[in-house]
Every structure is written in C-alpha cells, then in structure tokens.
Structure 1
Amino acid sequence: MTNTLSNKQGLSRRDFLRLSGLGALGALAGSALGLPSPAKAWGRTLTGLTEPDVEINLRAVIGQEQIRSGLPTTVWRYEADLVKGPAGTVQPLPNTYLGPILHFQPGQRVRIHFTNTIDEETIVHWHGLHVPEAADGHPRLVIGPNETYVYDFEIMDRPGTYWYHPHPHGRTGPQAYYGLAGLIIISDGTEAQQGLPTGAYDLPLVIQDRTFDGQNQLVYATNMAGFLGNEILVNGQPNASLTVEQTTYRFRVLNGSNSRIYKLGWPDGAPFTVIGSDGGLLDAPVQRNYVVIAPGERVELLVDFSRWPAGSVQTLRSLAFAGAGFGGGGSTTTLPNGSDYEIMRFRIEAQDTPTLTPTPTPSPTPTATSTPPTLSNPTYMPLILNGAGANGSASRTEPRLDFQADQAQPQQATRTFYLYVQFGQWTINGRTFQMEAVAPDETVELGAQEIWEFSNNFPNGGGMGGGMPHPMHIHGLQFRVVSRQAPTNATQRSNWETVKDGYVDGGWKDTVLVMPGERVQVQVEFKDYTGLYLYHCHNLEHEDMGMMRNYRVVQPNRA
C-alpha cells in the first residue's frame, strides 16, 4: 500500500543552531491557553502529588513545512505549550516538522495533556523513559480525533537523550514517518562541570530518510522489509550543512528512521569519541572508527573539529555494510540499506580561543539490591552493587570501560525470544501481536532480574533470504547488553563483521540491534511498576506487521 501525504540546499549556521536549540533556548513561557477538556484521562496519580512540577499541553496536528524548494510539504507534527514549569522546558524548533525538544530534570513530576487533532487514532510513547503502565503509550490506550489523554509520571531516568513518538498498533510506521516525533533531553545541570560541550556546541542530530513525489509530498509504502526513503534529512532538512569552529562538539544522534540502519563514519577514518548511548553517559569514553545505530537507538559523540584544517569541509557519511536485508521502500529506493551515502557536511572555521578536550564522567543515580547468584560473572557480567543504576534503579553495574559483548561469556538465559518469519508474518517465538494477550513465558515478577536472549538465527537465519536485522526495544526500562554470539553461517558471519566494531554495548540501552544469525543477551530488571508493557522490533514496519508482544509485570508469587 502506498500513501501520499500532503529544499532547502543546506541550513545557515544561525538556523542550524536555532534548530539544534541548545545554543539559545527559545522556549515558550507559561501558556495563557486553558487546559483542554479531557475526553479520556488516564495515567497514574503520583503518590502525594497535589501539583506537578511541569505541566504541558501537547498536540498532534496536521500542518505544512517548507522542506524542499518549491511547494510546501504536508506533515503531521507535535506542538506544545508550557503551562507550568521552568522556562526552557518546551523548546520549539524552527524550520522543521519535528516536535519541540522537551527538557526535563531527574525527580520532576510531569503532567502532559495530549490532544489528538489528526484524523485517526494515536497515542504517545515516551521512548526510553521508566514510567507507569498507564503512561507508557500502549496501543490499547489510543485516543480518537479531538480526544485528550492525560499522562502523569515522574522523571526517574539518568541524564541523557530520549525521544517521543506515536504508538498505535498498525499505524506507528506511517504516523512517525509523516512527522510525529520529538526529542527529550534529561539534564541534571552537571554537563558544564563535567567539561562537556554545552550551548551552541551541544547539537542534537535527528537522522531520518524520506521520499517525496513531484509535488513535494511525502510518499509512504508499506513493505515487508521496512520502508526506505530516497533522501536523508537531518533535523527535518535535506542536504544538511553547518559551519563549525575548530573545537569539540557534542552530537546527540537519534536514528529516527523507520527501518534504515546507519553506519556513521568520516571518509578519512577519523575516530569518534563515544560518550553516551540510549540511557545516558557511558562509564568512560570509548573510541570507534565508525558507529552503527539502528532505528530507535541514540548515541552521543564528541567530535573534535580541530583535527581538520580551517576552511575544509568534512562530510559525515553512512558507510557501506552488508547484511541489511532485502529490498525496502518498495525496492525503488535510490539509497539501499547498507550503501554508502552522505549524511551531513561541516564547514570548519578557525576558532580564536582554543578549548580543552573534555573528559566526561558518568552521571550519578540512586542505590541498590543484591544480585541473584545466576546473574554473577566476574569477568564480563555487569555486577549489581550498591550504588547507581538506570531508571532511578536501586542498583548499578561495575564500570565497563570498553565492553566488547562479542567477547563476553554467554549467560544462562531466563527467556529466549526467536525472531523470524512464519506464514508471511514477522513473529517473536512464532507469535504476533494481540492487544492484551500475554503468554505464560511473558509474565515476570516485580523485582526480578533476568537475562533475556534475542535469537535471530531460527529458522534459517530468520527466514527471507538469509534474514533481516531486528532492533529490539523493551518498554519501561533500561537494560545492559550481556553478550553477543556471532553468526555461525559463513555468509552471515561475513556480513556481521562489517558492523560489529561499531556497536556501543557498554552503556544503558533500551534498544539493541540483532543482526541476521546473531544472538544477543541483555540483563533486565523489573522495578517500581506492575502492569502491561511492550517489547518489539523497532523496524516500524515489522512492528506494525505484528513483530511486537506484551510482557506483564506482576507482584511476586502471582506470576
């Protein structure tokens, strides 16, 4: 099925810095608008909460944006007003269909009134955030046109880069593609103290791919492999370029594409300093000659532009790799997944005052439970100790300076999830999505720590010509990658070798790429909330086609 919905040649430095938004916060002050009348009001009332610290009106709307030269493009987008909270909480972005950046701080109590003004059902998922069941954006909670859903939750996550997007069953792919997405940045105010670049040197880069028709309207096609566009957009603009100084910048990169995987690198092989992943800063910076980032994943990079001469232009590219799967985008895409192409250009100008290269340190978070004996491995396993963890966890892990998951000893898996095609449908353990169905092996106890294994090698490498990559996302928590087992099939192993050195597995994650033939183990902990949550492939077409399941968190002894 193909849908058509109703160019700039590069951004000016001023526009790009405004678009990045971290140079000068252009947030809305408290809105004079009244709160919408809720048609539906769900979400958990926080214990002891009389008033939230932050209150926002958020809307899904249909509008137009000047993306390419010529006719404007019809898009779906999020808009927001700050009702209550610190100035800068809601940061609108100019010249893009992307929603405003939402800035939160750990411990804030947040209330969001989400109103749907598009002409189909939708709901918002806060990707990567640890929130109650009713605030997670499960598709059973969708609201219709002109209805409102009220979210109540506390920010319990580590400082880092997260995002929000729609999550209706069967329509997540097209809704996100038409423009419904925005960043969330959680900060505890210590970035400057840690020496990290701030302000105009702290740049969010949302990378997406799109296809346009002759009237500049978005064209979307449902495809078994996942949709691939013909043009790369950064922060909602094609042919992105930016003038930078000869100093160090922090890139907060989100792969906001439906199915495309990026292998980010510089043509001269200059290394990246990786400082963060999905769930915030790593235990220590690591070096990568290239970085692989799948749909839904985030990575934070330090790029020192002083390594190149003033006046030069450096091009960030997605480098070639193998094993990305078959077809995509109706097989007519001019940018096959795994090909080599340009992402963005940086024109370097001299800096008058040199700056020191920062040395980041991980962000602190709260205290601890003990580890079940089955989870201990002194060599490779992230040991649970007294200290700080993810999602306001009562646990933390032993620092992992440059964890190489493919060199780790596999653990005894608590549960294994096989990813493959069955009867023409993407499945997890041979099952497809049912709105409230939970199998016995998908019920977990509150407080449990488990090893989940995702296996993309059964049967026949996942089916369909040697298999497809699957970025697996678990709602409601952050996890640690425990191990990766390389493919045993010679072709799949050769393909895997083209991406494996770009994995960043040492940090907290909520989405992990599982290549064809690969087995990946993650350590998960279920805390704070009971209820129904999702796990699924974040190739949005795979998800919409049923490669998504529920898991239920229950009180102990009620599984």
Structure 2
Amino acid sequence: MRRLLPISCAAAAACLGLAASSLTSLLGATGPQNAPLPPPQDACSRPKPGSAIAEPAELRSHDGVLETDLRILDQKLADGTTRYCYLTPDGKPSPTLRVKPGDELVIHFKNDLADPDTGTPAIDQAFAGAPICTAKKKLDACESGAMTPVSTNLHFHGLTVPPVCHQDDVLKTSIQPDDMPFDYRLRIGDDAAPGLYWYHPHLHGFSKTQVLGGASGALIIEGIERANPDLAGLPERLIVIRDQDLLNPDAPPSKFEPPAMSKSQLDSDGDAVNSGTGFGKPSKDLSVNFVAVPYPNYPPAQLSMKPGERQLWRVLNASAITYLNLALLVRRAPQKIGVVGLDGVPLQFQGSPSQPVQWVDHVGVPPGSRAEFVVEGPPAGSGALLVTRAVDTGPAGENDPNRALLAITANADASEPQSALPVHAEPLPKPQRPWVGDTAPVRVRKLFFSEKQENANDPNSPTKFFLTTDGEDPKPFDPHSDTADIVVRQGDVEDWIIENRSMELHDFHIHQLHFQLRDWSGIAVNEPFLRDTVNVPYYKSRMLAYPSVRLRMDFRDPNIVGTFVYHCHVLEHEDGGMMGRIKVVPRSTVTSTTPTHQQNKGEL
C-alpha cells in the first residue's frame, strides 16, 4: 500500500509548476536543480551480534515536566524485513522516559513511516517546502481509526491514565505520515506505582509488525526505593529484550544442540511450531538492548560487572510474540535473584501483604510483562549467563526454546550503569484505599480464549482468534464498533475468570489497571502482589475442564473512566481479533454492568 500523501504525484507536479512528464527525472538520481539526493541513511541501525550492550539514552523530567520530540521511522532491509525505530531529534533510539509521580509527560510525536516499496521518501524531499494541494479531506487523528501500514499511535503500557485522545487512547487515535506532530500530554498520578513501564504502537492489525520491527521503549516511574528502602543506592540497569524475524532462517541447528524429537513444522504465518523438546528452531530471534542473539548458535550479548556487585535489573519483555523464562547461571547452576517488582508495581505496595523481595531461581516474563530484580555480579575469575529456558506454548503454539541471551564477565574495572537509585529514600505515603485482595468483588465474570482455523480442511489456512464473554458466540474484535463488550462502574472491584479453550498458551493483558492473580485452574495461589499480564495455560484434550486463571480486577482509580481494551498480548493474536472493549462509567452512573441476556450469569 502506498503512503498516504496530501496530493497525487501529478497534482504535486502541477502545484510546483512542473510538467507531469518531468516528475520521473525529478525523482531519479538527482534532486531539484540537479543537486544529488543524499544517500538513504541507516536510520534504524543495530549493533552486531555478540556486541556489548549499551543502555538506552535517558530523558528525565525537570520541574515536574518531561517534554520531548519523538518520531518513528522504518527501514526496509535487503532480506525483505522492515525495521522500525523511535528516534529523538539528536538520533538516539528508543529513549528511556524517566518521570516521577505527579509529573506531566509531553511528547510531540511525528509519524515518519513510509511504504518502503515506493519512492515516497524521495517525493517528500523533492517537494519539501512546496505549497500543499489538498485533494482529499484531512483525517482527524483523534477519530479516524485509520489502519494502514504507515499509520501508527502510542500506547503507554501499564500506566493508569485516562484512555482518551492525546493521552492513552488506542481505539480511535491513528496518526498518519502527513500529519503535523501529534501531542501526547498525560499526567502521572500522584499515587502511581514506581517501577518499569513501556511505550509501543497499538494500531489494530499492525501492532505485531511494528513492535517486531523494534518500535518500543521503556518508561520508568521513579521511587521504587521508597517502597523498598533496602534498594536505596543500588546501581540500576535497564535490559530490553525484543524479538525479531530470524536472521538465519535456513540454517541447520547448532551441532552442539541436542536433536529435536520432532521435525520442525511451520504454522500458517511461517513461524516454527512448538517442538515440545525445549530445542529446535525458534519462532523468532531475540535481542538484548538491540544486540541480536541469532539462531542457531546464539552468540550472547556481552556485559561486564564488578565481582559480587549488587545491581537492580529492570527487564522488559518487549517481544511481539515470544515468552521468556529468565534464569541467571554461574557455572551452569541457577543463582537466586531477588524479585522486587512485576509489571511496574513493587511487590509491597498499596497495602499488599507481600514480602518486599522474593528470592527465586527463575522468573517468567510473558510478552509485554516486566520484572525488576536484584542480581549479584559473578565471582572474580568467573562469569555468568542470563538465559531464557524453554516455554511450553502448547501443541498449537510457537517454539520458544532454551537459549543464551547475555554473557556477564566479572571485571573489577567494569563501568557502572548510567543510573543509580537515590541513597536516601523517603517512605511512600500510606495507601488511600484498602488492599484490593482484601476487597470483596461485586460480581464475577467469565471470559474465554478460543481459536478457529479459517478452513477446517486446510491446516495451513489462517487462524482466527477470539476473546469472548461467556454466553456470547466467539467473534473477532471489530475495530469499527463502538459497542462495549463489558461495562463496569468506576469504584467497583470484580473477579474475572479467564478460560483458555485453545491448545495454545495465551497472555491476558488489560489496559489502564492492574489485577491480582487469585487462583490457577481452581487452585488458590499465594500472590499478594499485582500484575497487568498473566499467562493462561493451554487446553489438552484429556482435561476434564478448561484451564483458567481467576483475577481480582481493580476499577477503583477514577483516572480509568472511559473506553479501552483487554486482549492477548501475543500481538499476532491481538491483531487477529483476540481483543475486547471495556467501558468504565463514572461511579455516579446508574447502568447495568452486564448485557441483558447475561445478567445473573456467573455472578456470586
């Protein structure tokens, strides 16, 4: 599809007083007045595999405001894949946005995407400064909902901010390449949880493409040491793990890898299907701070740490489809890591009865999720390895095998991370609301994931994905509808039971709020802390009931009034229709919270 231009090429030539026949020469090897066009820049360049990782540039708030320009670009590679990148005015990729509770975040966001199969970048340059001839009506970025390969928007994953245009709306907001810079202005709540969040595109139908290409960045709300004073003064390191198309898709497995028990099969999208062995070709390569760790040999990215030094690692899984199960190995033995926060929320926060740190030897991080944990540098003369262990995504899922990610070398001269937590930590104020886990739900809802092959007789036909309210017939998400699937009153607390009726692992996520995991397939779990993403186990034919999770949903914050979405955060599934629309109405509104035909169903 061609990039949307305000005028046709012929009309543009006419506006400039040029004959249409001269357009070809204008867009050839020379620019206006025969001046050579500059060569295309490698705007979305990436480090070489095996490189040392660098932390993203940081943009910090000053006097209560973080204001910046940011643009998104794309770059088509020789192998046919496309990279996407966010850049600051001085060319820094995917900056980390650091704000404090109560701050205002202002982003002047410019869409500079171009269809890489056309000459549109040259057209843009050739007609720079030319009069604008309007041959079509300009789209309203707040209302159009336009879905094209060059449309985009921003979602601030995990933030509790209003789901409205210019803040965190993803249903209608669609920014085009010919739009003026679009202003995002949002205020971080005074009681916002301190921790790791992130930003990425959320344009229905194209989220996977843009995120898989690298369009993502971290956002940190300062103050985690105020929730856990033991963290005060620790150096902090940001690690962003992304996935991407395989660099070596036709390579045989490494000679050092155990043979897979079954031959590699591909799903309808061309990705490797779960081998069930923990080995074999992965669906996607992974990268660490943009340093690729490609199949089949997985040369790890590099990092130096002082021996025995304690650091706070903030790890973001910005993958489009890849699940992580992280472990830190020293001499192949898993080391204890101290988890202090998940999905942007400290374990001990807002009255949570959790311990402030939980020491574990691995941590699961599904797509979109974040984990913050304390690590210790390897002993002198030794090294460590950050790995992701295999994740069983089910017989219909994709292959996420064992693989190395980051080699850590003990070095007494290792440089410090670019940031450290404050040495002095003022405790957070007491919570204004009771702990959500101690609050009785006003109702229980049931939803379910399901899938359907478009052509039952063709296993390679596209798959349709559904996220359905119990009692309804499964249907894909309709981006053109304004009808909410669920209506909730602000101030309520509900329990949602999410079933998985498919043979593939799914990753439930809801915008604007966090929830507590209460039970796993009917078995109570001890998780006295909050999340915004959670795995829902896949169905096996021998099971007597569908696997499920029960979540305590917190709709008490007034900032969430409005309409937003919940979905599977495997973006291939979200783009394919596995999403629903929820409307949170003001507390004073008198309204039915359930469609008429569902009332009293599943309520306790």
Q: Same fold (TM over 0.5)?
A: yes
Provide Cα deviations, 1:234-291, integer angstroms capped at 9, x if missing partner. 0100231111112111111111111111111133022221111003211210121211
Name the residue aligned to 1:202: 236
**Given the superposition, is the C-alpha separation of residues 223 and 432 from structure 1 closer, same or farther in structure 2, using an over 3 Å criterion?**
farther
Distance 1:519 1:29 in 2: 41
Distance 1:162 1:434 in 2: 27
**Given the superposition, is the C-alpha separation of residues 507 and 362 from structure 1 closer, same or farther in structure 2, using an over 3 Å criterion?**
farther
Give the residue type in structure 2 aligned to 1:145.
Answer: P
The structural deviation recorded for 1:132 is: 1.1
Name the residue aligned to 1:152: 185
Distance 2:423 2:339 in 1: 11
The structural deviation recorded for 1:294 is: 0.4
Name the residue aligned to 1:138: 170
User: For 1:296, which of 361, 365, 368 is the aligned residue?
Assistant: 368
- Equivalences for 1:88-237 in 2 at 5 Å? 98-119=93-114, 120-134=150-164, 135-147=167-179, 148-156=181-189, 157-188=192-223, 190=225, 194-196=229-231, 201-212=235-246, 222=269, 229-237=283-291
- Equivalences for 1:7-22 in 2 at 5 Å? 8-12=48-52, 16=53, 19-21=54-56
Name the residue aligned to 1:452: 496
**Given the superposition, is the C-alpha separation of residues 512 and 175 from structure 1 closer, same or farther in structure 2, using an over 3 Å criterion?**
same
Provide Cα deviations, 1:332-351, integer angstroms capped at 9, x if missing partner. xxxx31x2111111011348
**Given the superposition, is the C-alpha separation of residues 275 and 29 from structure 1 closer, same or farther in structure 2, using an over 3 Å criterion?**
closer
Name the residue aligned to 2:478: 434
Aligned length: 435
**Given the superposition, is the C-alpha separation of residues 469 and 52 from structure 1 closer, same or farther in structure 2, using an over 3 Å criterion?**
same
Name the residue aligned to 2:7: none
3-state SS in 2 of match to 1:508 = coil
3-state SS in 1 of match to 2:437 = coil
The structural deviation recorded for 1:183 is: 0.2
Distance 2:509 2:61 in 1: 34
Distance 2:369 2:429 in 1: 22
User: For 1:516, which of 538, 550, 553 is the aligned residue?
Assistant: 538
3-state SS in 1 of match to 2:311 = strand
3-state SS in 1 of match to 2:334 = coil
- Equivalences for 1:22-61 in 2 at 5 Å? 27=59, 53-61=65-73
Distance 1:366 1:221 in 2: 52
**Given the superposition, is the C-alpha separation of residues 179 and 513 from structure 1 closer, same or farther in structure 2, using an over 3 Å criterion?**
same
- Equivalences for 1:140-539 in 2 at 5 Å? 140-147=172-179, 148-156=181-189, 157-188=192-223, 190=225, 194-196=229-231, 201-212=235-246, 222=269, 229-238=283-292, 239-246=300-307, 247-265=309-327, 266=329, 267-283=332-348, 284-305=356-377, 308-326=378-396, 328=398, 336-337=399-400, 339-350=401-412, 364=428, 367-369=431-433, 382-384=437-439, 414-422=444-452, 424=454, 425-429=464-468, 430-435=474-479, 437=481, 442-456=486-500, 458=501, 462=502, 467-485=503-521, 505-517=527-539, 518-526=547-555, 527-528=557-558, 529-539=560-570
Larger Rg: 2
The structural deviation recorded for 1:213 is: 5.1
Name the residue aligned to 2:143: none
Is the 2:337–2:373 contact (alpha carbons within 8 Å) kept by the matching residues of 1? yes
**Given the superposition, is the C-alpha separation of residues 315 and 446 from structure 1 closer, same or farther in structure 2, using an over 3 Å criterion?**
same
Distance 1:158 1:191 in 2: 10
The structural deviation recorded for 1:10 is: 2.9
Distance 2:431 2:538 in 1: 38
3-state SS in 1 of match to 2:48 = coil
Provide Cα deviations, 1:122-146, integer angstroms capped at 9, x if missing partner. 1100000111121223142111113
Distance 2:426 2:339 in 1: 12
Is the 2:324–2:391 contact (alpha carbons within 8 Å) kept by the matching residues of 1? no
**Given the superposition, is the C-alpha separation of residues 264 and 141 from structure 1 closer, same or farther in structure 2, using an over 3 Å criterion?**
same
Task: Name which of structure 1's ranges 533-542 and 515-524 shifts more when overlaid on structure 2.
Answer: 515-524
**Given the superposition, is the C-alpha separation of residues 422 and 62 from structure 1 closer, same or farther in structure 2, using an over 3 Å criterion?**
closer
Give the residue type in structure 1 aligned to 2:223.
Answer: D
Distance 2:70 2:490 in 1: 32
Provide Cα deviations, 1:477-514, integer angstroms capped at 9, x if missing partner. 12222222269xxxxxxxxxxxx9xx994432111111
**Given the superposition, is the C-alpha separation of residues 486 and 450 from structure 1 closer, same or farther in structure 2, using an over 3 Å criterion?**
closer
Provide Cα deviations, 1:10-48, integer angstroms capped at 9, x if missing partner. 334xxx3xx225xxx765999xxxxxxxxxxxxxxxxxx
RMSD of equivalent CA atoms: 3.9
Distance 1:186 1:545 in 2: 32
**Given the superposition, is the C-alpha separation of residues 362 and 437 from structure 1 closer, same or farther in structure 2, using an over 3 Å criterion?**
farther
The structural deviation recorded for 1:56 is: 2.2
Name the residue aligned to 1:333: none
Is the 1:28–1:81 contact (alpha carbons within 8 Å) kept by the matching residues of 2? no
Is the 2:321–2:367 contact (alpha carbons within 8 Å) kept by the matching residues of 1? yes
Provide Cα deviations, 1:273-319, integer angstroms capped at 9, x if missing partner. 111100321121012121111000000111122xx431212111112
3-state SS in 1 of match to 2:105 = strand
Greater strand percent: which structure?
1
Give the residue type in structure 1 aligned to 2:70.
Answer: L
Is the 1:158–1:363 contact (alpha carbons within 8 Å) kept by the matching residues of 2? no
Distance 2:475 2:424 in 1: 43
Distance 2:193 2:60 in 1: 25
**Given the superposition, is the C-alpha separation of residues 261 and 168 from structure 1 closer, same or farther in structure 2, using an over 3 Å criterion?**
same
3-state SS in 2 of match to 1:382 = helix
**Given the superposition, is the C-alpha separation of residues 113 and 472 from structure 1 closer, same or farther in structure 2, using an over 3 Å criterion?**
same
Provide Cα deviations, 1:369-411, integer angstroms capped at 9, x if missing partner. 569xxxxxxxxx82159xxxxxxxxxxxxxxxxxxxxxxxxx8
Is the 2:247–2:285 contact (alpha carbons within 8 Å) kept by the matching residues of 1? no
Give the residue type in structure 1 aligned to 2:379.
Answer: P
Is the 2:59–2:66 contact (alpha carbons within 8 Å) kept by the matching residues of 1? no
The structural deviation recorded for 1:54 is: 2.9
3-state SS in 2 of match to 1:176 = helix
Is the 1:225–1:468 contact (alpha carbons within 8 Å) kept by the matching residues of 2? no
The structural deviation recorded for 1:189 is: 7.8
Provide Cα deviations, 1:194-226, integer angstroms capped at 9, x if missing partner. 242757x311111122235579xxxx9946999
Distance 2:434 2:363 in 1: 34
Distance 1:541 1:272 in 2: 31
Name the residue aligned to 2:595: none
Is the 1:443–1:554 contact (alpha carbons within 8 Å) kept by the matching residues of 2? yes
3-state SS in 2 of match to 1:264 = strand
Distance 2:301 2:427 in 1: 31
**Normalised TM-score (structure 1):** 0.69
Is the 2:510–2:565 contact (alpha carbons within 8 Å) kept by the matching residues of 1? yes
1:79 aligns with 2:90: no
The structural deviation recorded for 1:185 is: 0.6
**Given the superposition, is the C-alpha separation of residues 309 and 359 from structure 1 closer, same or farther in structure 2, using an over 3 Å criterion?**
same
Give the residue type in structure 1 aligned to 2:316.
Answer: L
Distance 1:506 1:176 in 2: 31
Name the residue aligned to 2:576: 545
Is the 1:222–1:541 contact (alpha carbons within 8 Å) kept by the matching residues of 2? no
The structural deviation recorded for 1:422 is: 3.5
Is the 2:86–2:215 contact (alpha carbons within 8 Å) kept by the matching residues of 1? yes
**Normalised TM-score (structure 2):** 0.64
Distance 2:268 2:69 in 1: 32
